[in-house]
Amino acid sequence: MATIQVVLACMLMSTRAQTQASQLDSLYAIGEYSKAIGLYQNQIPNTFNERISLAKVYLAKQQNDKALNLYKLALNKKQVLKHRFTYAQLLLGQKQYKLADSVFTQLHIDYPKNAEFVYQLGLSKKPNNTTTLNQYFAKAITLDSTHFRAYYELAYFYTKIKSYKKAQETCLKALKINSKHKKILGLLAQVLYNDKAYQLALEYFKAFDKHYDVPEFMLNKMAFSAWYLQDLELAIQYYNRLLQIDPKSYRYHQNIAKVYNASGNFKSAMRHAFSALRHKDVSQAKIYYELGLGFLGTKQYKLAVSTFEKVIDETPSYELAYVKLARAADLWHQDKSKVLPYFERYETYFDEVEDADYKDLMLRRLSDIRRKLHFDSAK
């Protein structure tokens, strides 16, 4: 009789657990997560289904630690594939890389042809900077040629070790399957940029720009690429877009001033140089230099001289500032005796500097001025 009572009690408990698990699933299905958790406010779920169902609720509530504990309890008793996979992913998300590695390793052993398991195994090894990391992502691609996340991770791995050619090849293989894949298209453009292949990088940046919103850091690289390729109009377009994002960036104002100076639009260059000065409160030598070029280009030689002086005051080794200062003075003064000190100043500072870029030009002009002054005094 006692045995029957025990059996009946067990059956009743099992029925209650099943009913509660079913109720839990129903509440989970309609998003009533708080009510679902409330079912177990004063008790701990005992059955596998209850633990797994409650773990899913905690995941939905982003209470990952509680979900993780329930998966550990449940999976100690019953190894169900889909739940092992969820558990491993949760470990990975919680940065428990060693445990995640062990679970994914076992999953990969049990299911060696599953591309996702070997891909996730690679992710679990990333924090250890494993030198053989590429083999996991490459294998995932072998198992599933459309596994774009594996393509991305493989290309990123090659990028990180500066194996740019392999990174490019990996991205191009993926883009043959899907030419508009966002992450891979963006990565390829950046890989080419890092490899200083600016022309090709700009083509892929443009392709990305055609389909997606370009993040600021990428737009900055596009602007530099256009500047490097001397597509000044395009560089100005990109810097203007950057200024729409961050109108107080002294660096963007400074860079667009440089582009405007190169294009001969000195007034615009000065406008942006002044803006850069307003927004920068530390070293301003480079900005003053661009402003000085603007004054020089618009034949405001006196202002150019005083501006280049500011550059040199702040950065005494700024060779080009000495060159442009002397040039502005040369254009400003008819009396070359007033010009002589500017060229002699360059000579004093750079005569012993072996790799000075403008020494021949400056010393030649200095010699011409001295010769002219000598002949004028002899008349």
Over the chain (379 residues), the average pLDDT of each successive run of 10 is 43 50 59 58 63 66 66 58 71 81 84 93 86 91 96 95 96 96 96 96 97 95 97 98 94 95 96 89 84 95 96 91 96 94 91 86 93 80
- The pLDDT score that the predictor gives to residue 157 is 94
Residue 295 contacts residue 303 (beta carbons within 8 Å): yes
Residue with tokens 């169900």: 80
- The pLDDT score that the predictor gives to residue 74 is 57
Separation between Cα atoms, residue 90 and residue 304, nearest integer Å: 63
Distance of CA 150 to the CA centre of its chain: 19
- The pLDDT score that the predictor gives to residue 92 is 83
Q: Which candidate, 134, 123, 139, 184, places its Cα nearest to that of 163?
A: 134
- The pLDDT score that the predictor gives to residue 90 is 74
Separation between Cα atoms, residue 340 and residue 157, nearest integer Å: 58
What burial class does residue 124 get, using C-beta atoms within 10 Å of its C-beta: 0-12 exposed, 13-18 middle, 19+ buried?
Answer: buried
Helix H or strand E encompassing 33: helix 33-38
- The pLDDT score that the predictor gives to residue 12 is 40
When computed from its CA atoms, the radius of gyration of the chain, rounded to whole angstroms, is 34
Q: Which candidate, 182, 175, 184, 132, places its Cα nearest to that of 153?
A: 184
- The pLDDT score that the predictor gives to residue 2 is 45
Residue with tokens 């990975």: 92
- The pLDDT score that the predictor gives to residue 328 is 96
- The pLDDT score that the predictor gives to residue 271 is 94
- The pLDDT score that the predictor gives to residue 282 is 61
Residue 294 contacts residue 273 (beta carbons within 8 Å): yes
- The pLDDT score that the predictor gives to residue 91 is 76
Query: Tens of pLDDT along 70-101?
Result: 666 656 544 565 667 777 777 788 788 887 88
- The pLDDT score that the predictor gives to residue 252 is 95
- The pLDDT score that the predictor gives to residue 115 is 95
Q: Which two tokens stand for residue 274?
A: 């002044």
Separation between Cα atoms, residue 189 and residue 194, nearest integer Å: 9
- The pLDDT score that the predictor gives to residue 5 is 43
- The pLDDT score that the predictor gives to residue 13 is 43
- Give the long-range contacts of residues 340-344, CB within 8 A, separation 24 or more: 340/366, 340/369, 340/370, 340/373, 343/369
Per DSSP, the residues of 220-250 read HHHHHHHHHTT-HHHHHHHHHHHHHH-TT-H
